[in-house]
Chain A
Amino acid sequence: MVKNRNVKERPLESFDDAERKLRQIFVRLVEDLKASKPPVLRIPLRTASNTVFDKKRGIITLGERVGERKFNDISGVRSFMQTCMLARAIYEALKNNDHPTIRDLYYYTLHTIEGTEIETFNDQDESNSIFQDIEVMTGLLREQMGIVAESRGAMVGNIILESKGNRIDCTKFGIGAFNIPSLCDQIRILDVNADYVLVVEKDAIFQRLNDYEFWRKNHCILITGKGQADRATRRMVKRLNEEWGLPVYVLTDADPFGWYIYSTYRAGSISLSYESFRLACPEAKFLGMTMTDIEKYEIPRDHLIKANEIDIKRAKELLVKDPVTKLPRYPWFYESKKWRQEINMFLERKVKAEIEAKSSKGFRFLSDVYLPEKISNKDWIT
């Protein structure tokens, strides 16, 4: 049994803080206005060029560059209005202890401005982008503001949670699993009894492993993000790693897309770089399936898939250096000898493989042979 190594009784995040913080920014804005200063919202840039790799923490973070959104600038006035409008909506929700989705917020604020034909938002993408601006501007994450998003992560294993006063034992879902909710920090982890966390890319593999009760047999917690992981899933992985000191292993297909998913768990993504510090888990290890596994486990040639152009482009990208800064874009790939070997092997052979390809060795090969062997041999890439 692993002990909570940080804060055992971690207090749930309070929304009062968010309410105060959000309001404070606009109070200052109005004070500026009263002093006849043109109102400016300072928003850290969420662009790729303002995304940097924090070597010390091993994660992607936002750079220091900040954009100014001015009211009295014709190109900025609309987004200035949208920012104020969305902030007001969030503020109202916080005050009323509502937890709307970002789609709710979009519809809540969407209207045609009186006397014109101008709509406040053209589409939800516009609203979502402004929402992210508010997140980086206030330093408050969506979850901290109680805004719900779609979540699809699932978890199963020997772990006991508490939510709204209910104890949830994650061993008792049968062939089902615990759906990781969007506001994952509103859940208290009471107890964990596992040796590691196995993150599975594909939901189907997750279901099969759950069906075999792989987690019980191997003393682990099974999590899936169902493809590219959402924030809540990544947050849960991070919490298990950070609060309970569990090692994290990631199982994906043997292709660049799988690597990319691993990369997101490990270091964060560019689009959510501002949130990496609470989502990325630098200790996560890539368990498989690796290119070397293909040979090692003798996957038949006809079970391999020919890599398409997008795969190759993506693989090359993982080793590319930024033309301006001359730094590798994905240092955790670039600076790892093993990873370079993997990627180059892929680029050489131009084939990829799905996890299911292992079923050529029998339906239980994955759960009974491959995974236990890989873990006990420490056959992973970091």
Chain B
Amino acid sequence: MSKRTPYYFFLPALLFLGLFAFLPFLQVIYFSFLNYNIFEGSSFVGFNNYVKLFSDSKFLYALLNSVIFLLVTPVLIIISLMLALFLRDTNKVTKFFRSLYFLPVITPIVIAGIFWKWIFAEDTGILNYWLSLVNLPNVSWLTKYPVNLFSVMIVTVWRGFGYYLLIFIAGLVAIPKEVEEAAKLDGATKFQQACYIILPMLKPVILLVLVMSSSAAIKMFTELYILIPGTPLANKTLVFYMFKYAFERFDFGYGSAAGVIIFILTFGFSILNIKLMGGNNENS
């Protein structure tokens, strides 16, 4: 077997990614410079689509909403990390709760969306019913901006924390018990152990979750599509904006330009996360 042989095993995956990820990606960049008409042919318009994007207040709102939506990332990390610390040991109780918290992850979003819509329903929903029991005014969970965006964020956190919880548990299991026992013998409290032993050793996993959850937050679409499809475009995020133009209005050139901006944002944010967390440091 020559030295090159193992690299041949990359070929199927590379071919697949090339065809279904890299090639479409390059095409989207190309389309973003076109006035794309599928029937009549396209024309090159330079940076017009990008200029139009940044002069559209709805796009700027969508950009802002996507940035606001990134708030789900720290919330997801805090909730799932805290729960992971509680559910770290394996016994019957923790197994039950791990399964319970994972249920939202495997619940189809369409079904989850329907029951969250019932919960948020403004006239007949359970949340407003509870508020009325304590004489509080009804909240426009779905109709009013930015409350409706926060409602969607609640659903995203509900759907996502079980997934990141499992990743954190896997990371925690990999931390050698001896290190914690040594700290314990030296008199470290539980809090000190968590701050000075567990969290630093969990840094690569936190980084992974940070990158994954933030890019998922920027790319979030389905929850919006199911929960508040009829609200104005200025209440939505970038991916919805792109979908609206590319697949509802068939302006593929303009939609592609929005797609390129989403890529830049996701890529830039991931790099920033890695830099901030010192992810390129060998020690981490």
The yes or no verdict on A and B being binding partners is no
A residues with CB within 8 A of B: none
